[in-house]
Structure 1
Amino acid sequence: MNQTSAVTTSVASLNGQWIGIYSSKRNSDGLLVVELDDVGSQYEGSVYAIANDRTVPASYGELSIPKGQETVSVRVPLVLVERGTGNTITDDSIKKTHPDATIAKFADVNLAISEREIQIHWSTDTGTRGEGFLKRSEGGEESSLSSIERSWDEFNWSTTSALSVSRAGK
């Protein structure tokens, strides 16, 4: 199970999705996604590290974070996942495509949490170190895009005109 240590302060809800970038000293940089759900006395969720190098499988882990913490240290068990399917990759199958790869089994993760951002630093059992910066997803907020009001006739005309132009270009 996850080992956790923390410093208690008043931090707003972490519930939701956090997205950012990471950099690693040994592997490629990439996208980091943390999804957390409020389950009572703590948050539980998942973390995905998706390398910019498309030949590198994504890493996945599950974590628990106590509520009301400004800093948290947690051990996160890791598995590799196949891009596109999300299927886990076994050590045997990764050795076929990446024979020299050393596969991390866990990461010791340190989080610095504020209301709108999370800073993350980690070190794996294979010696890989990295850091990232996550911002809360704005998926639950009002859209910043402006809308265009059209009547049905105006909308219908604009879509059928675009299709006519598209077909004429073939």
Structure 2
Amino acid sequence: MKQIVAFLLLAALSGCMTAGRVTGWLNDHPAASARYCADEYPVKTITTVTERVEHDTITVPGGQVVIHDTIPCPDGTSVPVQYEQPCPPVKVVTQTVYRDSVVKVENTAHVRALQADSAYFVRKANEATVRGDKWQKWAYYALAGVVLLAGWTFRNPILGLVKKLIA
């Protein structure tokens, strides 16, 4: 029984692929690696269409219209009449439509790699903070030890000085 378990364990361990072997296999089979990457990390395309409408109003001033007319008289003749009529200003409205299309192509493989890098560096920063906190704690302990050692070393002169001040 032990021999069968040992054989199965040896077979399982010998079938494992290391990272170097996987990289070599993927380099030898670029179509398979491309298919895997396309399935796992699809390109995300976002198209944004913006529409902007500008209105422009131009007022054309009205001029004077000269009207020529004839007025019939009772004797059968007609008298020419001329008068000016002011025209109201004319508003001309132009409407211009601008359409802009923005196509954003996102490389999701690159985004995932950057997210993994970000998580790695956040973890490293947290570890460095913990190490810094430990170092700071030990520095305070060392400072307290130096102060106690100095007090113990110079205790007799300090006590003599205190006795002189009290007396």
Alignment TM-score > 0.5, same fold: no
TM range (shorter): under 0.3
Indicate the structure (1 or 2) with the bigger Cα radius of gyration: 2
Greater share of residues in strand: 1
TM-score by length of 2: 0.19
TM-score by length of 1: 0.19
